[in-house]
Amino acid sequence: MNTKPDPQFLIIETGQPVASMRRHGRFPHWIRVAAGLRADQATVVNVEAGDPLPGHAGYAGVLITGSGAMVTDRHGWSERTADWLRDGLDAGLPVFGICYGHQLIAHALGGEVGDNPTGREMGTVPVELHPEAAQDLLFAPLPTRFAAQVTHLQTVLRPPADAAVLARSEQDACQAFRWRDHAWGVQFHPEFSASHMRGYVHARRDALQREGRCHRRMAKDVKPTPAARGVLRRFVRHAATLRGH
């Protein structure tokens, strides 16, 4: 009889959804459901609210949420989390960062984060894989072009040393990277459903209008992105394997 416990994951919460979407729960819930994890397999630490980070031991992997904050603001909670991540990554802890989490990993490892020179990227966009993705455990199963949900103003301008850039979009040269063999960052949101994405587009309608963009057309073009979600699920399976589960 197999009595090995199920792998446990730590979800680092770095922000909250826009107000109009909070009725659907917080980011950790969206990520846990998209990743296929049960509630008892995930521990949530809200670092933005001041929760202390636990020790690194005992987790199969770490998932880092998105945020309305900016990595370049160097908030105390964000810098402490970056330090914690750097120590964990150096020790081989599997980590997967989404949007802000993607940028925070890059920052923690010596990369550069800043305003996206092409401006706001939002909606369902095509993402194109680089040749390096063909050898990547999470990205190799994907077609060379796939759809993903995005909403961000900042980006990874320079990935960290030892990182392989895996994907790009028209507005972002670093949609995904892998660091060594156990850490990934994705600028896109694999946890977003089409409903989540449309909700974000409507919440940003005034900003989009100021930028000369039509939120109605953007919302109409939103579609499901199962290929992007598969990346998150493969990380969970891979992390459990790496940690002996």
Helix axes 100-108 and 76-90, enclosed angle (nearest 10): 70
Catalytic annotation, pick one of 13, 48, 99, 107: 99
Catalytic annotation, pick one of 102, 130, 182, 189: 189
24 is catalytic: no
How far apart CA 41 and CA 36 sit, in angstroms, is 10
Shortest CA distance to 86 belongs to which of 76, 77, 95? 95
- The per-type count for the chain, helices as H runs and strands as E runs, is 7, 11
Q: How far from each other are the two terminal CA atoms of the chain, in whole angstroms?
A: 15
Q: Is 18 exposed, middle or buried (0-12, 13-18, 19+ CB in 10 A)?
A: middle
99 is catalytic: yes
Catalytic annotation, pick one of 102, 152, 191, 196: 191
Q: Is 9 exposed, middle or buried (0-12, 13-18, 19+ CB in 10 A)?
A: buried
Task: Say if strands 154-158 and 42-46 run parallel, antiparallel, or are unpaired.
Answer: unpaired
189 is catalytic: yes
- At 160, list the tokens: 């960290």
Backbone φ and ψ of 65, nearest 5°: -80, 175
How far apart CA 218 and CA 158 sit, in angstroms, is 29
The catalytic site residues sit at 99, 189, 191
